[in-house]
Amino acid sequence: MNANPVLLQKKYARLVEGFSLRSGLSLDDSLSFFYHSECYRLVSEGVADMHCMSDKYLVEELIAEYNGN
């Protein structure tokens, strides 16, 4: 993975906020879900360049994971 750690942290913040808005969960609950999600693992490890995907796409992935899809 070649992502800048600071930029990656900012991306995480945007994803948590977007997920919170879409799911209706609090920011705390969204943060907890995010850091325990498969999506987070893939993004943080740079698998398939997931960190390069748009925030909107990744939020949709989080929603799908949250809904069990």
The C-alpha torsion from 69 through 14 and 22 to 60, rounded to 10°, is -30
Mean pLDDT along residues 22-39: 97
The chain-wide mean pLDDT, for the chain, equals: 94
The DSSP H or E segment spanning 65 is helix 55-66
| pLDDT number for residue 66 | 97
Dihedrals φ, ψ of 3, to 5°? -75, 135
Q: What percent of the chain has pLDDT over 90?
A: 83
- Is 46 a residue whose pLDDT tops 90? no
